[in-house]
Amino acid sequence: MSEFRTEKDSMGKLKVPKDAAYGAQTQRAVENFPVSGITMPLAFIQALGLVKQACANANSELGGLDENRRRAISSICDDIITGKLIDQFPLDVFQTGSATSTNMNANEVIAHLANKESGETVHPNDHVNMSQSSNDVIPTTIHVSAAIGCHQQLLPAIKHLITTIDEKAESVGTIVKTGRTHLMDAMPVSLAQELSGWSAQLQSALLHIENTLPAIHQLAIGGTAVGTGINADEAFGGLVAEQLSNSTGLSFSVSDNRFAALSSQHAAVALSGQLKALATSLMKISNDLRWMNSGPLAGIGEIALPALQPGSSIMPGKVNPVIPEAAAMVCAQVIGNDTSITIAAQSGNFQLNVMLPLVAHNLLQSIEILSNASVLLADKAIAGFSVNEDNIKAALSKNPILVTALNTEIGYELGAKIAKTAYAEGRAVIDVAEEMSKLSRKQLEKLLDPEKLI
């Protein structure tokens, strides 16, 4: 038996793998774009199934699509939405800039399988792509997939991380440690205060991401080829947005200006920028954890992160801060993704942006890996770290910068002499200050009480 079948499109005949549900246009794209082996994200393909299903329902409601075809198209879309047909979407991310190839991939798969299910002809362009163009379907799918990813993955993950940090802060609230600026000893802070800074950063990131989502909820659908809505009923876009709202539980609407929605990726750039801001906060938190965990003997050694795996192929017993390291790499990737999205968004030439697949891939990757990294930091690093109170107390008692608390009593110059002497002799500030100032031990104990200094 032959391993191929013959399909044809407007450019002629072409051999397609026998078991493939897609047709000639998809096969041409497979052959034209052997670039990276990176296919469009599952989340994007699932959202594309949602969009195609919503379009079929809207076309049926407007009288353009009969019930038998609508039902068959919707049934196949259900399989796309659940991920069952992901192997039928083989196209590379680096393809035609409008992602026409991916849109036709979906049209062909849905039509081919709906033909079998309905027993009548379902055409990929005339029926599945009715009232649509790749130029409005793909921007719509970017927004739908990003909105779903944010609401279902990212926002819950950030909230979980914030809650975990807040709970940890409460459990270590009485511990006072040496503060650090420029990586050098500074005035004391409580461990809870330090963690509260992490929490506040994440709360700010959460708010800013939420503030970008209303623009993501606005869709290009109904604009068709150039934004004018050619070949689509005026009510089509609104009906599709309503269908998508019902199927996802999110509030979608048609863009106020579909010329902008086709040619601009402003909302995606704005969301990506906030994802980058979140990444910078996660990078800071990850590196704080790494420094605090450093040692266990020759580093800071304030905390001990959970031991998750052997840390060296040659040094027995070594354990590394693997979760913060992984999270930091995620942050680097997200920052790079944002740069690519920024450049891609500049490629809106006249009525269409022509780097849409890249925007889709990078935006959804950033959402996914930030979500996963946030959960890992919460569950495998922050929730389980233990505090080395002896190390913290030993460092705090000898911290020469505590002398700052005496400035108003003895002045900056004498304070500097006391600090340098304490550091040079490895003695506690309180002992040196008692010798070099006129303050009594009782006064010094009061002024240098770490708990009062925070």
Report how far apart, in Å, the C-alpha atoms of 189 and of each of 200, 291, 354, 452 are.
16, 16, 51, 10
Q: What was the pLDDT predicted at 1?
A: 45
Q: For the packed helices 134-149 and 356-377, what is the interaxial angle rounded to 10 degrees?
A: 10
Q: What was the pLDDT predicted at 397?
A: 87
Residue 10 designated active-site = no
Query: Do 297 and 375 sit in the same domain of this protein?
Result: yes
Query: Do 171 and 296 sit in the same domain of this protein?
Result: yes
Q: For the packed helices 42-61 and 67-81, what is the interaxial angle rounded to 10 degrees?
A: 160
pLDDT in tens, 106-146: 999 999 999 999 998 999 999 999 999 999 999 999 999 99
Which has the closest alpha carbon to 292: 168, 414, 131?
Answer: 168
Query: Do 125 and 158 sit in the same domain of this protein?
Result: no
Distance CA(65)–CA(71), nearest Å, equals: 10
Distance CA(138)–CA(102), nearest Å, equals: 9
Query: Do 42 and 80 sit in the same domain of this protein?
Result: yes
| 3-state SS string for the chain | CCCEEEEEECCEEEEEECCCCCCHHHHHHHHHCCCCCCECCHHHHHHHHHHHHHHHHHHHHCCCCCHHHHHHHHHHHHHHHCCCCHHHCCCECCCCCCCHHHHHHHHHHHHHHHHHHHCCCCCHHHHHCCCCCHHHHHHHHHHHHHHHHHHHHHHHHHHHHHHHHHHHHHHCCCCEEEEEECCEEEEEEEHHHHHHHHHHHHHHHHHHHHHHHHHHCEECCCCCCCCCCCCCCCCHHHHHHHHHHHHHCCCCEECCCHHHHHHCCHHHHHHHHHHHHHHHHHHHHHHHHHHHHCCCCCCCCCEECCCCCCCCCCCCCCCCCHHHHHHHHHHHHHHHHHHHHHHHHCCEECCEECCHHHHHHHHHHHHHHHHHHHHHHHHHHHCCCEECHHHHHHHHHCCHHHHHHHHHHHCHHHHHHHHHHHHHHCCCHHHHHHHHCCCCHHHHHHHCCHHHHC
Residue 182 designated active-site = yes
Phi, psi of 31 (to 5 degrees): -75, -30
Contacts for 174 with CB less than 8 Å, ≥ 6 apart: 190
Query: Do 314 and 338 sit in the same domain of this protein?
Result: yes
What is the extent of the structural domain holding 363? 136-185+209-228+256-388
Query: Do 114 and 149 sit in the same domain of this protein?
Result: no
246 part of a folded domain: no
The single residue of 36, 204, 251, 312 carrying the catalytic annotation is 312
Query: Do 121 and 34 sit in the same domain of this protein?
Result: yes
Q: Which residue matches tokens 């269908």? A: 243
The single residue of 182, 204, 347, 374 carrying the catalytic annotation is 182
Supply the CATH number for residue 411's domain. 1.10.40.30
Query: Do 58 and 157 sit in the same domain of this protein?
Result: no
Length of the chain: 454
Query: Do 384 and 262 sit in the same domain of this protein?
Result: yes
Distance CA(415)–CA(246), nearest Å, equals: 68
Distance CA(339)–CA(247), nearest Å, equals: 33
Distance CA(235)–CA(227), nearest Å, equals: 14
Query: Do 37 and 71 sit in the same domain of this protein?
Result: yes
Angle at 199 between CA 198 and CA 200, to 5 degrees: 95
Q: Say what the pTM is.
A: 0.96
Q: How many domains does the chain have?
A: 3
Distance CA(140)–CA(132), nearest Å, equals: 11
Query: Do 263 and 379 sit in the same domain of this protein?
Result: yes
Phi, psi of 182 (to 5 degrees): 60, 25
Give the other-Cβ count within 10 Å of 111's Cβ: 26
238 part of a folded domain: no
Distance CA(236)–CA(229), nearest Å, equals: 9
247 part of a folded domain: no
Mark the ranges of the chain whose per-residue pLDDT is less than 50.
Answer: 1
Q: What was the pLDDT predicted at 2?
A: 63
CB of 123 closer than 8 Å to CB of 10: no
Supply the CATH number for residue 285's domain. 1.20.200.10
Chosen domain end from 130, 156, 171: 130
